């Protein structure tokens, strides 16, 4: 799994809202770590979700 993040919330950037971030984890460890991050990011405007496959992630992003 690869990813990077920035220190801005979507509410701090004019014209940007409803931001979704989907991550596909390769291992159970990666999945668990991202689930913990997901739980801690519930108070921000950006929606973060972790999935077992890229297909699941794309379905959520486009749904």
pLDDT, tens digit only, all 63 positions of the chain: 544 444 445 456 666 667 888 999 999 999 999 999 888 887 777 888 999 999 999 999 998
Helix, strand, coil share of the chain (percent; to 5): 40, 15, 45
Using a cut of 0.75, tell me whether the model's pTM lies above it. Answer: no
Which pLDDT score, from 0 to 100, does residue 20 have? 86
Which pLDDT score, from 0 to 100, does residue 18 have? 74
- Dihedral sign (CA 32, 36, 37, 41): positive
What stretches of the chain adopt beta strand conformation (E)?
A: 20-24, 47-51
């Amino acid at each position: 799994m690869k990813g990077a993040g920035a220190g801005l919330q979507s509410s701090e950037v004019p014209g940007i809202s409803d931001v979704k971030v989907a991550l596909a984890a390769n291992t159970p460890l990666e999945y668990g770590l991202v689930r913990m991050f997901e739980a801690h990011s519930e108070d921000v405007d950006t929606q973060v979700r972790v999935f077992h496959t890229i297909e699941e992630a794309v379905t959520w992003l486009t749904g």
